[in-house]
């Protein structure tokens, strides 16, 4: 019986990943079980905190800069007038399939929303790849066309990326001291550079809460 279940599951994994390219078997399994993982996260109440705010930031969001995965520099001053969704990402995580929903947001909201991905290896070594490998993985398997930044550190530490220092220090953003709880934590900044929302990993980018915050 157990052997048959293993065979059936292996077949399911292959069917789900018919269009996947250059994925490890672990990545294929994670993609296959993603719906169940999201359901379980909601049931047990894990990684689903949402926070909101309207306080203006003491330090301007538009003073920030970040190096993109292709080597170019993104000046956040160019983002004025649009909402920005910043997400710490990883290729070997139970939430990796959220790349699909992030890409859908990028395409659906066009010039109204900028999605920025920040690959990081801060949680259980789930982003071991090089910048080149990460970019290829995202493009081949999820068609990612929104900007990805160079791999960096997003949790509080001496090496934390300056953008995430701003996102996780109330003295800079005006209210939030909470760092990413896991991969695919989401921070939403409005058209005026105000950090308005924090969504933990189990809150899907395609959820009602996220879309309502974008459309507000």
Residues 72-128 have pLDDT tens digits of 999 999 999 999 999 999 999 999 999 999 999 999 999 999 999 999 999 999 999
Same domain? For 40 and 57 the reply is no
> What's the mean pLDDT when you consider all of the chain?
92
Same domain? For 131 and 28 the reply is no
Total domain count, the chain: 2
- For 204-216, the three-class secondary structure string (H helix, E strand, C coil) is CCCCHHHHHHHHC
Same domain? For 164 and 73 the reply is yes
Show the domain range for 12. Answer: 2-44
Same domain? For 92 and 132 the reply is yes
Given a contact cutoff of 8 angstroms between Cβ atoms, the answer to whether 183 and 93 are in contact is yes
Report the share of the chain in percent with pLDDT over 70: 94
Question: pLDDT grade, residue 148 (50/70/90)?
Answer: very high
Alpha helices in 45-130 (DSSP H): 98-109
Same domain? For 78 and 127 the reply is yes
The residue among 47, 72, 77 whose CA lies nearest residue 61 is 77
Active site residue 93: yes
Same domain? For 100 and 134 the reply is yes
Could you tell me the two tokens for 67?
A: 């190096």
Question: pLDDT grade, residue 24 (50/70/90)?
Answer: confident
Same domain? For 27 and 71 the reply is no
Same domain? For 8 and 93 the reply is no
pLDDT at 7: 67
Same domain? For 126 and 143 the reply is yes
Given a contact cutoff of 8 angstroms between Cβ atoms, the answer to whether 85 and 114 are in contact is yes
Given a contact cutoff of 8 angstroms between Cβ atoms, the answer to whether 162 and 75 are in contact is no
Same domain? For 139 and 36 the reply is no
The enclosing domain of 100 has a CATH number of 3.40.30.10
pLDDT of residue 170 exceeding 80, the answer is yes
Q: What's the average model confidence in pLDDT over 20-48?
A: 76
pTM for the whole thing? 0.89
Q: What is the DSSP letter of 62?
A: G
Same domain? For 120 and 15 the reply is no
The catalytically annotated residue of 29, 30, 38, 93 is 93
Same domain? For 83 and 32 the reply is no
């Amino acid at each position: 019986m157990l052997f048959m279940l293993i065979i059936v599951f292996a077949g399911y994994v292959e069917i789900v990943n018919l269009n996947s390219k250059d994925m490890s078997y672990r990545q294929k399994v994670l993609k296959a079980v993603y719906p169940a993982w999201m359901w379980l996260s909601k049931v047990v109440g894990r990684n689903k905190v949402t926070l909101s705010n309207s306080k203006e930031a003491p330090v301007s969001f538009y003073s920030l800069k970040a190096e993109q995965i292709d080597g170019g520099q993104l000046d956040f001053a160019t983002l004025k007038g649009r909402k920005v969704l910043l997400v710490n990402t990883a290729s070997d995580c139970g939430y990796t399939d959220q790349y699909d929903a992030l890409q859908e947001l990028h395409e659906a909201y066009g010039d109204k929303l900028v999605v920025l991905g920040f690959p990081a290896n801060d949680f259980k070594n789930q982003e071991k790849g090089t910048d080149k490998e990460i970019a290829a993985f995202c493009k081949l398997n999820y068609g990612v066309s929104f900007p990805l930044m160079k791999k960096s550190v997003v949790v509080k530490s001496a090496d934390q990326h300056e953008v995430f220092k701003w996102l996780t220090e109330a003295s800079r953003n005006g209210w939030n001291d909470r760092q990413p709880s896991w991969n695919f934590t989401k921070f939403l900044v409005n058209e005026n550079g105000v950090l308005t929302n924090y969504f933990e990993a189990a809150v899907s980018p395609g959820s009602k809460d996220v879309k309502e915050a974008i459309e507000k």
